[in-house]
Amino acid sequence: MIFRNILIDTNICIDATQKRKPFAYNAHKILDFSERKIINGFVSAHSFDTIFYILTQNTHQEYVYKANEGLRRTVEIAPVTKMEIDEALKLRWPDFEDAIHYRAAMAAGCEAIVTRNPGDFKEADLAVLTPSQLLADIDTEQ
């Protein structure tokens, strides 16, 4: 079954922008599928500042702005409002950021989350896929 509305975890976005091996290839493919509307890729609103912060530790700020602008053109934004924060707080997950991602995915109508850390979402009520699982799913449907 192909999932159309996918929340793309922050780590996937960073893999693509930093060209982190061996993860970059799959990350680029996922973002390319989002750009080409093979999937509706979403990124949580709060991911943009996290990406900016992490990338500016080792990369020129102008590159980081351009990377975030490119990402923004490629994906939709999953909202992070008072409601998502309140719902994430109620979950009491070990990693609060993952709880926010999950609630943002639910608010955006996502059917799945793609992440390199599926164990972080073991209590999620939607599909959680690794990049290779998502890409295999898309390949079998095309």
Domain limits of the chain? Answer: 5-141
Instruction: Give me the residues paired with residue 42 across strands.
Output: 7, 76
Strand order in the sheet with 40-44: 76-78, 40-44, 5-8, 112-114, 127-129
**What are the pLDDT tens digits along the chain (142 aa)?**
679 999 999 999 999 999 999 999 999 999 999 999 999 999 999 999 999 999 999 999 999 999 999 999 999 999 999 999 999 999 999 999 999 999 999 999 999 999 999 999 999 999 999 999 999 998 776 5
pTM: 0.94
Question: May I ask the CATH architecture of the domain 5-141?
Answer: 3-Layer(aba) Sandwich (3.40)
